[in-house]
């Protein structure tokens, strides 16, 4: 089997790739819906793929892996790897999880990152109301992640939030999904805020967490999406103050989303100072860049995104190495789309028992649910997704319905 073509189309907001072969088997991969600009970067790799056997996934990846980088520039490589596994599974007539070593769980736990509601404000009562809505969601989530501090509108809504001036443009309403032109963005300037928190703002963050836990109790775990942007001293003070609430983790306190470096030593200082689990990793590309975090025990939880780390096998490799060091895994995925969701289910079914849950993505726009087939309905029950056995990633396009959403230059995407 040989690769004959690599295509990329931006469908809705998600860049989607299709790899064709000379045997008529094709595979799909997907990038986050925050990256509609990725198409030329994907097509850059086309000449490296043509003529290769797609079922030799690692051999193909060795040709292109070195040409990716930290988020967002590892996304093209990651999406290609995902599509190669899709082809390999279809060619063998088995689901991708069997190619990755086989599943150890029949149901995969997810945490709520994608099911969001507009918030009236960023005060304790607003966060409590938000938790009541999420607790009542039909998916029955057992873990909910909430954005606070620099990962929310707090720097703009709370006077004198830090000792630096607010930068970028504040998100409005829903803290995760913000329309911006033809795409979804979290911020006008992604995570531009950084600085020393005032005493007032630290107390505000703690009060908001207390309000959320008063609603969730010990029935539902609470994770916090915090930054990046905190200083080490603030991270230690607040993490210690939150210890009585048994938070699942505090994510991206120092570095993180769209930060092209990690600062493992700084994270290690915070981790050693508190029993509150510290988490990072969604922006990191390749196993080598997790080495310091893991070997220095810099965090308690890592959260790479399969659409940024370099693909599914890379995610599994890092998970297994983290497990050897007693570090837990909670993959990122909120913007990964429905093909990304399928890929997450397949790889997470195979991960060792340091796996907690992956971040559940929802389709944006909602018509994505009409153009993708193969997913269970409902997708999530009691916070879990049952692993399916369809060959490859197990999902495909309903081409008749999907064609209407293709741009004019992409009308041959399904050919």
CATH number for the domain that contains residue 159: 3.20.20.120
State the DSSP code for 32.
-
Q: Are residues 231 and 314 in the same domain?
A: yes
How far, in Å, CA of 364 to CA of 255, rounded?
27
The total of other beta-carbon atoms located within 10 Å of residue 128's CB is 17
How far, in Å, CA of 113 to CA of 316, rounded?
21
Q: Are residues 133 and 69 in the same domain?
A: no
Decide: 72 and 183 in contact? Cβ < 8 Å.
no
Lookup result for tokens 């950084």: 194
Q: Are residues 70 and 111 in the same domain?
A: no
Lookup result for tokens 């073509």: 5
pLDDT confidence of residue 171: 62
pLDDT confidence of residue 109: 98
Tell me if 105 is assigned to some domain.
yes
pLDDT confidence of residue 180: 38
Q: Are residues 117 and 11 in the same domain?
A: no
Closest by alpha carbon to 249, among 274, 266, 217? 274
Q: Which domain holds residue 56?
A: 3-93+398-410
Q: Are residues 82 and 225 in the same domain?
A: no
pLDDT confidence of residue 192: 81
Q: Are residues 51 and 124 in the same domain?
A: no
Residues of the chain with pLDDT under 50: 177-188
**In angstroms, what is the C-alpha Rg of the chain?**
21
Q: Are residues 147 and 32 in the same domain?
A: no
Q: Per the structure, how many domains does the chain have?
A: 2
Provide the β-strand partners of residue 30.
Answer: 16
Token representation of residue 205: 């963050």
| DSSP per position, 84-122 | HHHHHHHHHTSBHHHHTT--S-SEEEEEESS-----S-S
How far, in Å, CA of 206 to CA of 212, rounded?
10
Counted residue by residue, the chain has a size of 415
pLDDT confidence of residue 175: 52
| DSSP per position, 216-261 | HTTTSEEEEE--S---HHHHHHHHHHTGGGT-SEEESSSS-TT-S-
> Which CATH number characterizes residue 42's domain?
3.30.390.10
Token representation of residue 177: 């999904």
Q: Are residues 150 and 41 in the same domain?
A: no
Provide the β-strand partners of residue 18.
Answer: 7, 28
Q: Is the dihedral of CA 313, 318, 321, 322 positive or negative?
A: negative
Tell me if 217 is assigned to some domain.
yes
Tell me if 415 is assigned to some domain.
no
Side-chain-facing half-sphere of 293: CA atoms under 13 Å: 34
Q: Are residues 53 and 140 in the same domain?
A: no
Tell me if 319 is assigned to some domain.
yes
Q: Are residues 205 and 242 in the same domain?
A: yes
Decide: 414 and 403 in contact? Cβ < 8 Å.
yes
pLDDT confidence of residue 168: 75
Token representation of residue 119: 């918030």
pLDDT confidence of residue 190: 58
Q: Are residues 115 and 57 in the same domain?
A: no
Provide the β-strand partners of residue 396.
Answer: 373
């Amino acid at each position: 089997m040989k690769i004959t073509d690599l295509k990329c189309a931006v469908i809705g907001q998600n860049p989607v790739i299709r790899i064709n072969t000379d045997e008529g088997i094709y595979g799909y991969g997907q990038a986050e819906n925050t990256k509609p600009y990725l198409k030329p970067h994907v097509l850059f790799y086309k000449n490296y793929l043509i003529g290769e056997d797609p079922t030799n996934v690692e051999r193909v990846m060795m040709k292109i892996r070195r040409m990716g980088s930290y988020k967002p520039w590892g996304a093209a490589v990651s999406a290609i790897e995902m599509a190669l596994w899709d082809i390999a599974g279809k060619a063998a007539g088995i689901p991708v999880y069997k190619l990755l070593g086989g599943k150890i769980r029949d149901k995969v736990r997810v945490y709520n990152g994608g099911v969001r509601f507009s918030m009236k404000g960023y005060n304790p009562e607003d966060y409590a109301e938000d938790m009541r809505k999420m607790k009542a969601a039909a998916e029955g989530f057992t873990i909910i992640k909430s954005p606070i501090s620099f990962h929310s509108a707090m720097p703009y809504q709370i006077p004198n939030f830090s000792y630096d001036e607010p930068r970028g443009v504040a998100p409005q309403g829903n803290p995760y999904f913000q329309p911006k032109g033809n795409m979804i963005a979290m911020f006008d300037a992604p995570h531009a805020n950084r600085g020393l928190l005032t005493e007032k703002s630290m107390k505000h963050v703690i009060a908001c967490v207390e309000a959320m836990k008063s609603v969730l109790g010990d029935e539902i775990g609470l994770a916090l999406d915090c930054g990046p942007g905190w200083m080490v001293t603030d991270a230690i003070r607040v993490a210690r103050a939150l210890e009585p609430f048994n938070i699942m983790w505090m994510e991206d306190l120092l570095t993180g989303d769209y930060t092209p470096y990690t600062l493992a030593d700084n994270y290690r200082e915070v981790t050693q100072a508190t029993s509150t689990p510290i988490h990072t990793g969604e922006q990191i590309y390749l196993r080598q860049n997790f080495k310091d975090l893991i070997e220095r025990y810099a965090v308690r939880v890592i959260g790479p995104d399969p659409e940024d780390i370099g693909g599914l096998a890379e995610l599994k490799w890092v998970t297994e190495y983290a497990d050897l060091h007693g570090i837990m895994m909670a993959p990122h995925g909120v913007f990964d789309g429905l093909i990304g969701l399928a890929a997450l289910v397949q790889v997470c079914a195979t991960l060792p028992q340091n796996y907690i849950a992956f971040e559940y993505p929802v389709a944006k726009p909602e018509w994505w649910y009409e153009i993708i087939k193969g997913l269970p309905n409902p997708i999530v029950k009691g916070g879990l997704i049952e692993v399916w056995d369809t060959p490859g990633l197990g999902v495909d396009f309903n081409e008749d319905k999907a064609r209407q959403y293709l741009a004019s230059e992409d009308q041959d995407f399904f050919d």
